[in-house]
């Protein structure tokens, strides 16, 4: 762990501790201002004057959200935020100093939040327009009129200062999780935070964060990734070199698990993202049912933090396929990608590819990101082919064996092999390591694809003959 990592973790822990005091502030306007100022201070501590990148991009995005017509605001804001993300990462090309790693995380979360407001505003405007047309008779009404909330109306008049405060709220400023502007507003306008099990949930998550950090430190000490690039590594047996992908990606997973757990603790202690069970809150989105009426007897409700849950570690580790594992990893970002990219993209044929490409772009421009994330898209394709071949209706011992094989393939190729590329970052490092194990992951993937296509074709031909 380098010096930047230590400062980063200390800032996260300070954000966790601040939640207890933030909840005690009675005046909501004062609470909101303090949350913003504290967020800016934390961002400055880990970034120095590089934090100006974050401030400038947030203001540019906010201007687009407020002044561009609602029918186009999501597209323009998206372009501005993602273009600035590119400029930020290529600062050295323009003669600027490269920002530190923690600033990159802040900029990444900021990109999603500001463009997310624009997508929310555009969606609400569309609903308002459709409702207006239905009521005026210029458009045939659906079986039920489109449901319009006060939030949809108020979102059309959101101002720059509100977006700025949302962007730099200390809760989530460092490493997420991503949450909607509605979730941010609810925190200051509802009493749920006073009755949620804040301390209990925080302590529980801190326990897991401690376990993950110990595993991370232990495995990183015993099997450091740098060893895989040393001349001595090539002298080891092939089995050892191939096996090394397991501890290598375990280090990465434990690092991510620790960070995401701590980021959830920041929300938990402040009571942020807490909603009554009756609201049916889901990860990233928040309540799916009417919930504002629950404020009247908030003290009689039971609460959860589903809205800000960003990872389900048990499911990631035990699920049988990579497609399922991806659903449980960085969940709130997955929600943003699903709602704003996957569902918005006009071509159904290319939705998955475009979404994964956007995810790779958001993560960075380094070759390792594309080897990993686009490789995952290819692996999922093969996985889907074989799922259809073996049949989901299989039961008993045969099903158990099939699931075990899928789990091993997911862990070996889907996680460890592709994930190692993500950590090695540069093309030269990736090529050097993959060459040392003779590119067996890609060879295995190709054989699985070829055999899967042949068997699918044969199965289809047999079913046609039987008809």
Specify the 3-state DSSP secondary structure of 141. coil
Best CA proximity match to 310, nearest among 195, 168, 209, 186: 209
Which is catalytic among the residues 330, 340, 416, 429? 330
Angle at 444 between CA 438 and CA 450, to 5 degrees: 135
Asked if omega into 20 is within 30° of 0 (cis), the reply is: no
Residue found by looking up tokens 């961002």 in the block: 43
Six token digits for residue 72: 């186009």
Exposure string (b/e) for 17-46, b if CB count within 10 Å is 16 or more? ebbeebbeeeeeeebbebbbebbbebbebb
- Nearest Cα neighbor of 171 from 54, 56, 262 is 262
List the one residue out of 143, 269, 251, 254 whose CA is nearest residue 202: 269
Nearest Cα neighbor of 261 from 303, 224, 324, 314 is: 314
Neighbours of 132 (CB within 10 A): 13
Going from the C-alpha of 246 to that of each of 224, 243, 340, 379, 414, the distances in angstroms are 12, 6, 34, 18, 12
Token pair belonging to 243: 């096996």
DSSP letter assigned to residue 342: I
CA of residue 330 relative to chain centroid, distance = 4
Could you list the beta-strand ranges (E) of 342-442.
Answer: none
Element (H, E) at 133: helix 101-136
CB atoms near residue 65 (< 10 Å): 30
363 is catalytic: yes
Catalytic residues: 330, 363
């Amino acid at each position: 762990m380098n010096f930047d990592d230590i400062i980063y973790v200390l800032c996260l822990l300070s954000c966790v501790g601040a939640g207890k005091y933030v909840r005690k502030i009675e005046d909501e306007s004062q609470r909101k201002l303090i949350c913003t100022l504290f967020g800016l201070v934390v961002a400055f501590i880990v970034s120095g004057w590089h934090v100006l990148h974050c401030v400038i991009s947030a203001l540019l995005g906010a201007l687009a959200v407020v002044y561009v017509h609602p029918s186009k605001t999501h597209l323009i804001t998206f372009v501005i935020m993602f273009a600035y993300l590119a400029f930020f990462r290529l600062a050295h090309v323009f003669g600027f100093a490269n920002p530190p790693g923690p600033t990159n995380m802040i900029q990444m979360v900021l990109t999603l939040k500001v463009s997310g407001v624009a997508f929310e505003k555009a969606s609400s405007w569309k609903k308002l327009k459709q409702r207006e047309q239905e009521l005026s008779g210029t458009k045939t009404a659906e079986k039920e009129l489109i449901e319009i909330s006060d939030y949809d109306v108020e979102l059309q008049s959101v101002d720059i200062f509100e977006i700025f405060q949302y962007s730099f709220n200390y809760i989530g400023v460092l490493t997420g999780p991503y949450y909607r502007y509605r979730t941010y507003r609810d925190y200051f306008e509802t009493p749920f935070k006073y009755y949620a099990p804040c301390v209990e949930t925080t302590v529980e998550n801190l326990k897991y964060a401690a376990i993950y950090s110990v595993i991370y430190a232990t495995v990183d000490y015993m099997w450091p990734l740098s060893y895989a690039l040393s001349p001595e590594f090539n002298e080891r047996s092939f089995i050892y070199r191939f096996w090394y992908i397991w501890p290598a990606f375990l280090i990465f997973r434990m690092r991510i698990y620790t960070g995401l757990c701590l980021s959830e603790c920041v929300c938990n202690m402040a009571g942020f993202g807490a909603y009554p069970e009756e609201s049916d809150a889901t990860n990233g989105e928040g309540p799916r049912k009417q919930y504002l009426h629950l404020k009247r007897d908030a003290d009689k409700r039971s609460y959860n933090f589903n809205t800000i849950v960003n990872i389900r570690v048990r499911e990631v580790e035990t699920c049988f396929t990579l497609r399922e594992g991806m659903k449980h990893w960085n969940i709130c970002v997955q929600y943003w990608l699903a709602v704003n990219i996957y569902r918005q993209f006009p071509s159904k044929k290319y939705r998955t590819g475009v979404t994964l490409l956007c995810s790779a772009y958001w993560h960075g421009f380094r070759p390792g990101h594309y080897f990993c994330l686009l490789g995952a898209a290819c692996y999922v394709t093969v996985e889907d082919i074989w799922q259809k071949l073996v049949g989901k209706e299989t039961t008993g011992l045969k099903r158990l064996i099939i699931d075990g094989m899928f789990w091993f393939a997911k862990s070996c190729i889907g996680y460890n092999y592709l994930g190692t590329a993500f950590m090695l970052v540069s093309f030269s490092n990736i090529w050097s390591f993959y060459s040392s194990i003779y590119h067996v992951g890609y060879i295995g993937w190709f054989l699985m694809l070829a055999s899967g296509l042949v068997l699918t074709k044969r199965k289809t031909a047999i079913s046609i003959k039987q008809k």
